[in-house]
Homo-oligomer: A and B are copies of this chain.
Amino acid sequence: MLAYLHSAMQSFFNHINNYYPLSPAAQEALEENFVQMEFYKNDMLLTEGKICRYLYFVEKGALRGFYTLDGKEITHWFGFENDFVTSFHSFITGEAAVENIQFLEHSIVWALPKEKIQGLFDRFHETERLVRIVYEKYYIRLEERFVNAQFKTAAERYENLLQQAPYILTRVPLGYIAAYLGITQETLSRIRSRV
């Protein structure tokens, strides 16, 4: 059983080794606390108003985070293979989520409950170090996205996205991508037509 779990989580450990390699003992403890979950297209992982108590790791599939504004759904992030996803604000503060998380494809994710994470931090300093390092990467990523959002044109942001995640066009409806870029669907369509 452990052997099965281990092989199932191989992509997870391969990935986190890029951040900070864990000792076998810490890996084993992590494995014991992760729960694999399977979802299908359009399934909801979280709906606004609920408290998000899990951190998820995407083994396979795609998700979006969105909130509603004036009755419209505003997609503001995507998650793909090897991404950590959660409603960060809700997960950290314990307050109700203002966003929804929905699957865009058939997906396999691993869920780690918040209270288990705290226990891992207490027992294995190295797991807290891993998370600290992951935060650094994600913070830098968000900083870049912020600078793009505020100081680049819509067309530049689109070009950027295509370079960084060319697969996104085939996996995500254009309307979601437009919202993600902070523009309307019509504007994105026009940007595309004049390339």
Contacts and interface: CB of A to CB of B under 8 A. Distances in A.
Chain multiplicity (copies): 2
Question: Which range contains the number of A residues in contact with the other chain?
Answer: 20 to 34
A143 B151 CA distance: 16
A150 B151 contact: no
A151 B89 contact: no
Interface string A31-55: 0000000000000000000000000
Given A76-B150, A128-B129, A151-B69, A142 B140 contact: no
Nearest to A181: B150
Interface of A: 69, 74, 76, 88-89, 92-93, 121, 125, 128-129, 131-132, 135-136, 138-140, 142-143, 145-147, 149-151, 182
6 contacts: A76-B147, A89-B143, A121-B129, A145-B146, A149-B150, A151-B182
